[in-house]
Amino acid sequence: MISAIVFVPLFVAILYVFIPGENKKFFKIGSLSTTILVFLASLWLFVKFNPANPLPQFVELKKWIGFGLNYRVGADGISLMLLILTTFLMPLAVASSWNYIKEREKEYYIMLLLLETGMLGVFVAQNLFLFYIFWEAMLIPMYFLIGIWGGEKRVYATVKFVLYTMLGSLLMLVGIFYLWKISPEHSLYFYDLYSLEISPSVQILLFAAFGLAFAIKVPLFPFHTWLPDAHTEAPTAGSVLLAGVLLKMGGYGFLRLAMPIFPEGFRAFFPYLIVLAVISIIYGAAMAFVQKDAKRLVAYSSVSHLGVVMLGIFILTLKAYTGGIYQMLNHGLSTGALFLLVGMIYERTHTREMEKLGGLARPLPVLAGFLIITVLSSIGLPGLNGFIGEFLVFIGTFEASKTVAAFAALGIILSAVYLLWMYQRVMQGKVKNADYMKLPDMNLREILIMVPIVILYLWMGLYPKFFISKFEKSAKFMLEITNKPQIARVIQGGGK
């Protein structure tokens, strides 16, 4: 089932190659129905998933290359939630491209579908080599999405994005070779790797190699500068998926690979990582505050929010860890939605310069309504989703260190500052340009994109248990492995 979910988009993309490019409508509708189908299938997984079992479920194991390089996929609670986040955002991304993409539709939708396969693969791979392949494969469609359908500085942004990510992943590849060499029977199955005994000094090196790859992806300060450029230049759907899913992979990599496989290495870097996470929170917020481009602002806000996520994952208390994972989902939703909305404004006004906007709430009341609730979700208003994640991360951090929590919680003030300032500059005040008074408000398609997101804001904010209960056990289990490596040895082999 998981394999089907992962590879259906790829299959459809291959099918597209053989269909002439003039049938624009076909590609749109085909992609939309494919992604919706995949989403429904993943919901089925959600229903079937047994939350009491912390180990990967729906496991499929096939001999592939041999030498331990097997095809093994499966999903534990954490993977499941990220998988669903991805499949949920995909139809929205497709729908948001409906009128935005006006040229080379065929190639565009092929790339989107390829991207989906890559992203899903990363979350469900249970073999490190397979993980790496998906990890890299994902880059290619993203490269084209930004490079072909992006904004003015798209080439610069793409090259920067790809080279930056490559740099990190090459070091990781070296690490993978090493692990392959020392692992018994060359197994690269995650749960075999958890029980490896590696000397602390080697762990430090390997953690650095893996950690760099993931830190760039997150991105943690000071590896963040690719993000504003990539986000700003990418087409709306690209930004949504970049923020919603790709940025999660850094955090996912840390919690799934870098931390549990090299606990000693992690311990060595622990204080620095905490400091970097806190700096990311404050620094990202300060930078977002002074941006003039709305998309750039949202991009820097991602740095700040991901700082919260990473703090939650690094601080190693159950509440913060769970909160960090929950915050990943929240960030995927609310920042994805911010990009969607900024994209909708751009489609209407053809500018993202906030100086030139203003007063848009008068002609676009519905859009303004969706924007404000998204802003509120993003700044963690209690009752909406963002609050739950932040609350858990901060309360968990507080248990470990009051000072760190105090500094990190500054983020709640600063995020209100820059996001409300953005809202004011875009939506409030007098309309700057008389033509803007005639702008059409959101149409049905756009409303249908936003409604599911808003429902989830409320649902995740008011009844988080529904979601948390699915991954709580897995999170606890991963955390235990990270804290006490010997546990991994006891349960050796997990789902074998």
Residues lying near another protein in the complex (CB under 8 A): 159-160, 163-164, 222, 224-226, 283, 286-287, 289-291, 318-319, 322-323, 359, 361-362, 365, 369, 372, 376, 381-383, 387-388, 391-392, 394-395, 398-399, 402, 405-406, 409-410, 412-413, 416-417, 420-421, 424, 427-431, 462-465, 468, 472
Helix orientation angle between 77-96 and 24-48, rounded to the nearest 10 degrees? 160
Which C-beta is closer to another protein: that of 382 or that of 452? 382
Which C-beta is closer to another protein: that of 37 or that of 372? 372
CB of 80 to another protein, least distance (A): 18
CB of 328 to another protein, least distance (A): 16
Which C-beta is closer to another protein: that of 90 or that of 409? 409
CB of 250 to another protein, least distance (A): 17
Which C-beta is closer to another protein: that of 72 or that of 470? 470
CB of 286 to another protein, least distance (A): 4
CB of 485 to another protein, least distance (A): 21
Which C-beta is closer to another protein: that of 61 or that of 372? 372
Which C-beta is closer to another protein: that of 54 or that of 464? 464
CB of 280 to another protein, least distance (A): 12
